[in-house]
């Protein structure tokens, strides 16, 4: 049976690109029989059966190298986290949350500070420095003065990359500026609310050259911690890891444990205090999530 990659999922259809054409497929109920959790995702390699030249059924979903729940996409190896400096305003809490998801999914994150034309240089420098110190690539971008575009393009070369971030931060605009053939629809930000209008409604992979793709995705504003342990969360803060070996207790969660080297590093300003605050906040949220979802 033929194979291909799902490039779009919309209204119960999966659009499978076999390298020559895109076949519109439905999924057979077989996923329920085999493994209830496997729902085909954009980015999945699938085996399909044809019923006509351009229609078929997805029969089997291949092993995934990576998987993100929000936005729902499989097999991407890089994520451009788009965070605007204005409209909507920059949220370090949401960025830190998204970094937890990319770290635990094993996806390389590039931080794009979009709408940089609307920000002061001092503001940009501060955010850049904070996240570069931890080891992330941070690129201020603007579709107005075109800064950062070449750098993003280079970062994406030979990758399958997903663009993720809140509604209205400029994900689709950035992709259009990088790759004019994408011709994605963009929308105005509501002036009253300072929020986007959810212009992009579905995840779509856009082919670039030589097997690389970018995925545009709908904006989101909240993220849950699904399938995460407390230790996963602690390890997702990558700057903690070099200190964690020195903690008195193995499996230390760096919360209230005595002899904790991470807490000491925060006190000595070796670890950013705001990042640590977010960690504590997320640990609380995770506990709350687990309490609500206990099986009994
Ligand atoms: N000043 C400025 N405005 C920008 C920039 N990039 C995007 N915008 C504006 O931001 C608004 C939202 O852009 P979109 O690209 O639709 O945002 P999105 O992230 O795709 O939003 P959703 O599809 O709703 O998730 C539009 O009015 C754009 O013109 C930029 O670099 N500078
Ligand atoms: Mg969009
Ligand atoms: Zn510790």
Q: What percent of the chain has pLDDT above 90?
A: 79
How far apart CA 69 and CA 80 sit, in angstroms, is 15
Q: Is the CB of 188 under 6 A from ligand 1?
A: yes
What's the confidence (pLDDT) of residue 33? Answer: 47
Q: For residue range 48-67, list pLDDT tens digits in order.
A: 999 998 999 999 999 999 99
Three-state DSSP at 5 gives strand
What is the fold, at CATH topology level, of the domain defined by 67-216?
Answer: Rossmann fold (3.40.50)
230-292 CATH: 1.10.40.50
The Cα–Cα gap between 266 and 268 comes to 5
Residue nearest to atom 16 of ligand 1 (CA): 186
Residues 16-20 have a mean pLDDT of 93
Q: Distance between CA 75 and CA 160 in Å, rounded?
A: 8
pLDDT in tens, 99-124: 999 999 999 999 999 999 999 999 99
Q: For residues 147 and 135, what is the distance between their CA atoms, to the nearest angstrom?
A: 21
100 phi and psi, to 5 degrees?
Answer: -60, -45
Q: Specify the pLDDT at position 275.
A: 98
Q: CA-to-CA distance for 186 and 87, rounded, in angstroms?
A: 14
**CA of 245 relative to ligand 2 center, distance in Å:** 42
Which protein residues have their CB within 5 A of the ion that is ligand 2?
A: 171-172, 199-200
CA distance 211 to 19: 10
Q: What is the pLDDT at residue 36?
A: 55
**Residue 148: strand, helix, or coil:** coil
> What's the rounded Cα separation, in Å, for the pair 44 and 19?
14
Nearest to 206 by CA among 196, 195, 214: 214
* Average pLDDT over all residues of the chain: 92
Question: What pLDDT, on a 0 to 100 scale, did the predictor assign at position 31?
Answer: 60
Bridge partners, 4 (sequence order): 46
Atom 26 of ligand 1, residue of closest alpha carbon: 188
Cα(115)–Cα(60) distance, integer angstroms: 41
Where, residue-wise, is CATH 2.40.50.140 in the chain?
A: 3-61
What pLDDT shows up at residue 30? 56
Per the CB < 8 A criterion, the answer to whether 234 and 247 are in contact is no
pLDDT in tens, 213-235: 999 999 977 777 777 899 999 99
- CB distance 1 to 18 below 8 Å: no
E strand or H helix at 125: helix 121-134
Range(s) for CATH 3.40.50.300 in the chain? Answer: 67-216
**Which listed ligand is nearest to 242 at the C-alpha?**
3
Residue 73 bridge partners (DSSP): 68
What CATH number was assigned to the domain covering residues 3-61?
Answer: 2.40.50.140
pLDDT confidence bin for 70, thresholds 50/70/90:
confident
Whose alpha carbon is nearest atom 2 of ligand 1?
Answer: 115
Write out the DSSP string of 15-33. EEE-SS-EEEEEE-THHHH
Ligand 1 center to 156 CA (angstroms): 20
Q: Whose CA is nearest to atom 32 of ligand 1?
A: 115
143 lines ligand 1 (CB under 6 A): yes
> Atom 5 in ligand 1: which residue has the minimum CA distance?
115
Q: Give CATH 1.10.40.50 domain extents, the chain.
A: 230-292
3-state secondary structure of 38: coil
């Amino acid at each position: 049976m033929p194979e291909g990659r799902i490039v779009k999922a919309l209204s119960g259809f999966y659009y499978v690109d076999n390298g020559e054409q895109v076949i519109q497929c439905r999924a057979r109920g077989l996923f329920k029989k085999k493994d209830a959790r496997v729902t085909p995702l954009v980015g999945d390699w699938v085996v399909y059966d044809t019923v006509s030249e351009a229609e078929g059924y997805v029969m089997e979903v291949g092993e995934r190298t990576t998987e993100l729940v929000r936005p729902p996409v499989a097999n991407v190896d890089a994520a451009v986290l788009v965070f605007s400096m204005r409209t909507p305003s920059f949220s370090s809490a949401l960025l830190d949350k998204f970094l937890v998801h990319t770290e635990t999914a094993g996806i390389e994150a590039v931080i794009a500070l979009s709408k940089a034309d609307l920000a002061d240089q001092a503001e940009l420098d501060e955010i850049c420095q904070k996240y570069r110190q931890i080891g992330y690539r941070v690129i201020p971008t603007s579709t107005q003065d075109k800064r950062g575009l070449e750098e993003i393009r280079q970062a994406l070369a030979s990758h399958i990359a997903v663009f993720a971030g809140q509604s209205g931060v400029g994900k689709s605009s950035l992709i259009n500026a990088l790759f004019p053939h994408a011709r994605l629809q963009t929308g105005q930000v509501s002036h009253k609310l300072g929020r986007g209008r959810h212009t992009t409604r579905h995840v779509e992979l856009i082919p670039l050259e030589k097997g690389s793709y970018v995925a545009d995705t709908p904006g989101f504003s909240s993220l849950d911690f699904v399938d995460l342990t407390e230790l996963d969360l602690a390890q997702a803060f990558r700057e903690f890891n070099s200190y964690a070996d020195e903690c008195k207790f193995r499996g230390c969660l760096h919360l209230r444990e005595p002899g904790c080297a991470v807490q000491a590093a925060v006190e000595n300003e070796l670890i950013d205090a705001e990042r640590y605050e977010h960690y504590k906040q997320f640990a609380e949220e995770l506990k709350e999530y687990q309490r609500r979802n206990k099986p009994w």
